[in-house]
Amino acid sequence: MTLEGKPLRYLIGGDDRAQGSDDEVIELSFDAEAPPRRGIGIKYCNLLDEKYDKKKKTGSYGPYAAASDVARQYGEGQIDPKGPGWKKNLTDQFTRAKSQGFVYIELDNPDSYSIEPVLDAISLAQSYGLKVIAKNPGLMDDDAQRYVAHPNVFGVIVEKDAGTPQEMDALRRKAGKPTLPVWFVYFGKGKAQAETHAAAAKSYRNMGVTYSTVGEYKNATDLLRPTSAA
């Protein structure tokens, strides 16, 4: 089950009813209960507490640390990796994804943490038989190469301002994975950057670019479909 040469339908803001096509990769939301009927499914998972009660400032995966910018933006809990809630958050998500029939997962918000707990989380997913799609490795600074080089990373998703096609190609080569699929995903005010990166990504294999014309990742329209290195 290869991801190379396949476009990504990044639908984490959708209603999870997408049925997919045989030649596509489809990512569904945190609350998805099953993979798409066709194609290769990815389950959205989160290193932050997705269900954190921001009004009561409580959740199921404490203790919590000071919130990162993205945690504040989305009202999610910044879990302390040194506390018991860190592993519980992961095992709950991995158990659910595995039981639902997913093979691939995204682990979002790695840049909210230092590299070691992120690598441990990827290894833990591997112990469940789940393959990880990396998210925004360009935001991991000097740790980006270690992140992408993990043997349980099978693709990369890049959002607005999180890296260029040139940078992502250089990164995957440094990580020893020159054909690693890279998908650029955009919504809202990211249209101009999406078009710029689509033009640049034509020079590389296994790179695709999509833009959501409805809200934040409620649909995915191709600006560039990836071509396989083969």
Q: How confident is the model at residue 230 (pLDDT cuts 50, 70, 90)?
A: low
- Cα separation, 62 vs 53, in Å, equals 12
Go through the chain and tell me how many residues it has. Answer: 230
Q: Give the model confidence (pLDDT) of 87-109 as tens digits.
A: 999 999 999 999 999 999 999 99
Sign of the dihedral defined by the CA atoms of residues 71, 61, 143, 97, in that order:
negative
- Cα separation, 9 vs 130, in Å, equals 19
Q: How confident is the model at residue 229 (pLDDT cuts 50, 70, 90)?
A: confident
- Cα separation, 21 vs 37, in Å, equals 8
